Amino acid sequence: MARRSTILFLTPNPIQSASERYRVYQFLPELQRAGFDCTVRPFATEQLHRAIQDSRLIGTIWGVLPCVLQRARDLRAIGRFDVIVIQREAFPFFHPFVEMKAIKRHPQVIFDLDDAIYIGHRDTGETKYPWSYKLKYGPGIDRAIGMCCHVVAGSRTLAAHARSFHPNVTVVPTVVDLDRYTYQPPRADDAQVTVGWVGSRSTSPYLLEIEPALQRLCQAHPGRIRFCTWGDPRRHLQLANFEALPFSLESEIDNLRRCDIGIMPMPDNDWTRGKCAFKAIQYMALGIPTVASPVGAASEVIQHEENGLLARREDDWFHCLDILVRDRGLRARLSRAGRKTIERGYSLQTWAPRVVDLFERITGSGERQDAVALEQAG
């Protein structure tokens, strides 16, 4: 019987982080069924991840040292695996020497790139990061990309950058499982319309850019608009009937189902052009009519007035949201078209077989399994 190929995923965060949850963990069952033994080693524990998210300095300091020691043990063990996948980063601080060390020690390292971390934090529009991250992200990532055996990129923009340093690049968007993200048509009762957003502390400042448009929407529809955000309870907007809630892994999808309209505002800069439009993909999979900034992969996922709406300026945002609130028929049409878009191009059901095929090509396991099957048939 052929030996099962082994994969080690080195991730910065545990499953509570959306990047790891959707780019690593949800692919594991399909990889296991295809004959791969998968191991995931996050740098941060759940406790450290919560401390960082809550900005608890003491908890972060005390939590880092055990994680550093565990990561050192992980690096000593990489020789036992057939393939190593570095999902964004193996070590979240300082220069990417840990990633380079892993790449030098193992011939089959895949780098998974789902953000424009190669630009550092110049003009990112993100919440201010620690100084150590400014050393971590930047041109050093390009060297690590060039040293890998393969690069997986979450968008065409990221892939184009990676191809400047490596010939073997595959685009794998961040996708959703349609069995979990089941379609829900718009509610017939639209006496009150909920506008929703999901994200994190790093992306919640983007909401401030469209706050004037949201205020105008409240004035145009007094008492009818409700706003809900998940992911940064400290970010409060000056809006009537506004609720900012923490993110919950257990109720992530159920929370989104409360939305009648989903929004994804972003500034236009080098950092956001590398974004993978995942918020829009989540909304559209659930049948939630979506309004997004035409930045990064959002312009690929959303075709304006066909499966969603794109808004750049304040007036655009107000007009798009206002017409969605007024026109139940438009919401229904965009809901159906958005779901079909995700079914065709941004679902786990579409991409899991392609990811399995990629690992089989890199490890040669597909050829080994075919040889065993022929031998048994003979």
Q: Could you identify the residue written with the tokens 């939630």?
A: 288
Q: Look up the CATH number of domain 193-345.
A: 3.40.50.2000
- What is the distance between the alpha carbons of residues 271 and 140, in angstroms, rounded to a whole number? 16
Q: Could you identify the residue written with the tokens 């972003």?
A: 266
Question: Do the Cβ atoms of 124 and 270 come closer than 8 Å?
Answer: yes
Residue-range domain boundaries for the chain: 5-175+348-377, 193-345
- What is the distance between the alpha carbons of residues 331 and 259, in angstroms, rounded to a whole number? 12
pLDDT per position as a tens digit, 275-333: 999 999 999 999 999 999 999 999 999 999 999 999 999 999 999 999 999 999 999 99
At residue 29, the pLDDT reads: 97
pLDDT per position as a tens digit, 241-271: 999 999 999 999 999 999 999 999 999 999 9
Pick from 5, 17, 77: which is nearest to 42 by CA?
17
**Whether the predicted pLDDT of 63 surpasses 50:** yes
- What is the distance between the alpha carbons of residues 73 and 365, in angstroms, rounded to a whole number? 27
SS3 262: strand
Q: Which CATH class is domain 5-175+348-377?
A: alpha beta
Question: Do the Cβ atoms of 210 and 177 come closer than 8 Å?
Answer: no
At residue 339, the pLDDT reads: 98
Q: Could you identify the residue written with the tokens 């939590």?
A: 63
At residue 52, the pLDDT reads: 76
At residue 133, the pLDDT reads: 56
Residues in the chain: 378
Residue 166, amino acid: H
- How far, in whole angstroms, is CA 277 from its chain's centroid? 8
At residue 376, the pLDDT reads: 37
SS3 294: coil
> Sign of torsion, CA 3 351 286 246?
positive
Q: Which tokens in the block code for residue 194?
A: 């909920």
pLDDT band of residue 121 (cuts 50, 70, 90) is low
Q: Could you identify the residue written with the tokens 């959306």?
A: 18
At residue 326, the pLDDT reads: 95
- What is the distance between the alpha carbons of residues 153 and 171, in angstroms, rounded to a whole number? 5
**Whether the predicted pLDDT of 3 surpasses 90:** no
- What is the distance between the alpha carbons of residues 10 and 8, in angstroms, rounded to a whole number? 6
Other beta carbons within 10 Å of 164: 11
Strand bridging mode 36-42 / 5-11: parallel
The chain-wide mean pLDDT, for the chain, equals 90
Pick from 111, 116, 236: which is nearest to 170 by CA?
111
Helices (H) and strands (E) in the chain, counts: 17, 12
- The neighbouring-strand residues paired with 264 are 292
Pick from 155, 158, 151: which is nearest to 118 by CA?
158
